[in-house]
Amino acid sequence: MEKFKQGVVLITGTTSGVGLNTLKPLLSSGWKVVAINRSNKRAIDAASMFLGKDDLNKINFIEIDLSDLNQVRKGAQEISIKFKGALKILICNAAVYKPRLRRPDRSVQGFENSMAVNHFGHFLLINLLINDLVNSDKEINLNGKNILFTPRVTILGTVTANYLELGGKIPIPAPADLGDLAGFEKGFLSPISMANGKKFKPGKAYKDSKLCNMITVQELAKRYSSEKIICNSLYPGCVANSKLFRNTPWIFRLLFPLFQKYITKGYVTEKLAGQRVASVATDSDLFQSGVHWSWGNRQKLVGNVFSQKLSKRIIDPELSKKTWDLSMKLVGLK
């Protein structure tokens, strides 16, 4: 029997938290992993705390700082050359959240940095690799078995970007809302720092960037048939003690996990969140495209995954097309 190439899954942001905890389940089910980080050294150090030597050897570490679109272009080229045919899955996981900034951090290209990392870096990476994914080999080998596998793009979304959920309505500093996208339309450079062109609100900048992530999935699902590629997003639960919250006040870091564990019951461990990401990216049961998968806001012991309804701000066809078109322009693809 002919043995096909081992399937390759790319994941961004594996130095900590959800991304780090997604490695093990991916490797166990036979995937070769490409881990994208801004420091290979830190990524390897972190992975070696979790994985044995054999598993570690199955990971290709590639350095890309997602805040720099030139690095994304260079990295995508390298990935395309090295893994053509075998690259089947892209998991967009990396993110930065800096809710205490008074003034926006700026990316190399001059964009507000959380939008640059969370949305533009991933948006460009997806668009540069989508043809490789779509045209990848139909059959791959996982743990010695040849299987047919439809390519996938999986993006980490969040509850605070979905206005239909309670967490998406929290008014502090403001719910996610791209407004009329005036900020994107005007080029998104200083002094502009928000997609809607209004006053800088760092917490909202993060939520807006995750809203863009979720819109990207909806647009991809419209643009590519599900026979060619499956595009989905997920809310893994509240991973309240991950390093994502490293820039919040210490009192928040102390109380937030307790609040999520005992009051809202929304808390999940990094390990469970990692397993959920791996399952949304690879499980044959989760084959529908354009779905935002969730286990709900209150975690139950035996909770099933379901397709979460999304707000108009995510699925409105005109707004999502405009977000896509302006993003294409801002990352230099149009």
Ligand X SMILES: NC(=O)c1ccc[n+]([C@@H]2O[C@H](COP(=O)([O-])OP(=O)(O)OC[C@H]3O[C@@H](n4cnc5c(N)ncnc54)[C@H](OP(=O)(O)O)[C@@H]3O)[C@@H](O)[C@H]2O)c1
Residues that bind ligand X (CB under 6 A): 12-19, 37-39, 42, 65-67, 93-96, 117, 156, 158, 210, 235-236, 238-240, 242-244
By C-beta, is 148 or 254 nearer to ligand X?
A: 254
Residue nearest to ligand X (CB): 17
Q: What's the rounded Cα separation, in Å, for the pair 87 and 122? A: 16
Residue 208, judged by CB atoms within 10 A of its CB (0-12, 13-18, 19+), counts as buried
By C-beta, is 89 or 140 nearer to ligand X?
A: 89
By C-beta, is 4 or 121 nearer to ligand X?
A: 121
What's the closest the beta carbon of residue 12 comes to ligand X, in angstroms?
A: 6
What's the closest the beta carbon of residue 103 comes to ligand X, in angstroms?
A: 18
What's the closest the beta carbon of residue 165 comes to ligand X, in angstroms?
A: 12
What's the closest the beta carbon of residue 168 comes to ligand X, in angstroms?
A: 12
E-assigned strand segments in 15-57:
32-37
By C-beta, is 112 or 149 nearer to ligand X?
A: 112
What's the closest the beta carbon of residue 73 comes to ligand X, in angstroms?
A: 14
User: Is-contact 217 129, C-beta < 8 A?
Assistant: no
Give the chain's largest Cα–Cα span. 62
By C-beta, is 75 or 151 nearer to ligand X?
A: 75
What is the CB-side half-sphere exposure of residue 276 using CA atoms within 13 A? Answer: 30
By C-beta, is 260 or 323 nearer to ligand X?
A: 260
Can you list the alpha helix ranges (DSSP code H) found in the chain?
17-28, 40-50, 53-57, 69-83, 113-115, 122-134, 182-185, 202-223, 250-258, 270-282, 312-315, 317-330
User: Is-contact 151 88, C-beta < 8 A?
Assistant: yes
What's the closest the beta carbon of residue 71 comes to ligand X, in angstroms?
A: 8
